[in-house]
Amino acid sequence: MSKEKKVKQPKGKLGKLERREARAGYFFVAPWLVGVVIFLLYPLCQSFYYMWYNIRITPLGSNFTYIGIGNFTQIWMTDPQFPQEIVDYLWHTIVEVPIIVVFALMIAIMLNGKIKCRGLFRLIFFLPVIIVSGPVMNMLVDEGAANIPAMDTTVITNAIATFLPLEVANGVGEIFSDMIMILWYSGVQILIFLSALQKIDSAMYEAAKMDGASGWECFWKITLPTIKPMILLNAVYSVIFLSSNEQNALITLIKDSMFSGTSEKGYGYASAMAWMYAVVITGIVLLFFLLLGSKKDMYDRQVKRRQRAMKKEARLVKKIERRGRRNAKKIERLRNKRSYKTYSGENDY
């Protein structure tokens, strides 16, 4: 019987349907790629080039004067505002991000339950993301809508100052004064947590409750480990949002330095500020990644330990088998040698 020959497709070559799908994919990704190159990579390279120069805009064009690290030394040595704003930004971000993430998780758990008008409540919590942004946020802040009138932050600051340093107490008081605005930033995080909670299999909760687990134990053993990647995602999103928000004083400072009419500041000075600010943001993101990044839990460690023990046992079994085969060959050689001697002695006799 003649065997059917299989037609092998050359390596590296796609079929007609695969090429068509690839072209469609490139077509849909092309606008994003063009936007990244024009609005991200090019300005990024341009600002990196600008930060080494003192740039002056004149009616005849732009004058570039190379000053090396002069912009950086000027920012840290002669401009006290930027280091102070960096310290305030670090403190507020490290404190505000956990508040936003925890509040978003609590609201998402409540909105995921069986309550009446659940869709309306979801719309209410997500509505600030659509309405309270850009100029609207600035107008609301100027009118005092981001503060809680009934909350006396002075009392809170004085109470905290009794057991913490005054600088820390002032920072906590500022956070309480801006609590409404902080919670307005949690709409997207609530939506992300809500989508993650809806994907958890309800059979896991039913099995845990049949085994006698309480609601608190179900949260710690099922809910929290399942949505842990979303916690990291929301923390990173919150850091980026707070860092690029118009209410951030550093953004305003960089913008004012860029359009300053003084001879020391300008585009190069603002570019140096922006790059140092980007390094600080990257450091905060790495910090949250180290704290919330995926780590192998106890069960994974036990599985790895069991696999190593099984491999060690398999190696021991192979070693015993090899030793048994060598001993069997040695016994066989001795037996053949004895039979040969016996046979030779009988012939001589």
Instruction: Convert the pLDDT of each residue in 270-280 to its tens digit.
Output: 899 999 999 99
Instruction: Label residue 104 exposed, middle or buried (CB < 10 Å: 0-12, 13-18, 19+).
Output: buried
**Distance of alpha carbon 180 from the chain centroid:** 25
Q: Is residue 334 part of a domain?
A: no
CB 164 within 8 A of CB 105: no
The span from the CA of 151 to the CA of 339, in Å, is 105
DSSP letter at 2? P
Q: Is residue 113 part of a domain?
A: yes
Q: Is residue 88 part of a domain?
A: yes
The span from the CA of 285 to the CA of 232, in Å, is 10
Give strand ranges (E) for the chain: 53-58, 61-66
DSSP letter at 112? T
> The domain spanning residue 213 has which CATH number?
1.10.3720.10
> Residue type for 86, please?
I
Q: Is residue 94 part of a domain?
A: yes
The span from the CA of 201 to the CA of 310, in Å, is 32
pLDDT of the residue at 349: 44
DSSP line for 82-97: HHHHHHHHHHHHHHHH
Question: And the tokens for 294?
Answer: 């995926």
pLDDT of the residue at 31: 92
Q: Is residue 272 part of a domain?
A: yes
Q: Is residue 27 part of a domain?
A: no
pLDDT of the residue at 9: 52
The pTM for the full model equals 0.71
pLDDT of the residue at 48: 92
pLDDT of the residue at 244: 84
pLDDT in tens, 137-166: 667 666 666 666 666 667 777 777 777 776
Instruction: Give me the residues paired with residue 55 across strands.
Output: 64
CB 199 within 8 A of CB 227: no
Q: Which residues contact 280 (CB under 8 A, 6 or more apart)?
A: 86, 89, 90
> Residue type for 240, please?
I
**Number of structural domains found in the chain:** 1
User: Low-confidence residues of the chain, pLDDT below 50?
Assistant: 1-6, 347-349
pLDDT of the residue at 348: 47
Query: How distant, in Å, are the alpha carbons of 20, 126, 151 from that of 25?
Result: 9, 32, 54
280 closest CA partner among 97, 102, 88 = 88
pLDDT in tens, 53-77: 888 877 777 788 888 888 888 888 8
Question: And the tokens for 218?
Answer: 């179900």
pLDDT of the residue at 61: 77
Domain coverage including residue 174: 74-296
Phi, psi of 57 (to 5 degrees): -95, 120
Pairing state of beta strands 61-66 and 53-58? antiparallel
Q: Which residue has the tokens 């006698």?
A: 212
SS3 at position 57: strand
The span from the CA of 60 to the CA of 217, in Å, is 71
pLDDT of the residue at 1: 43
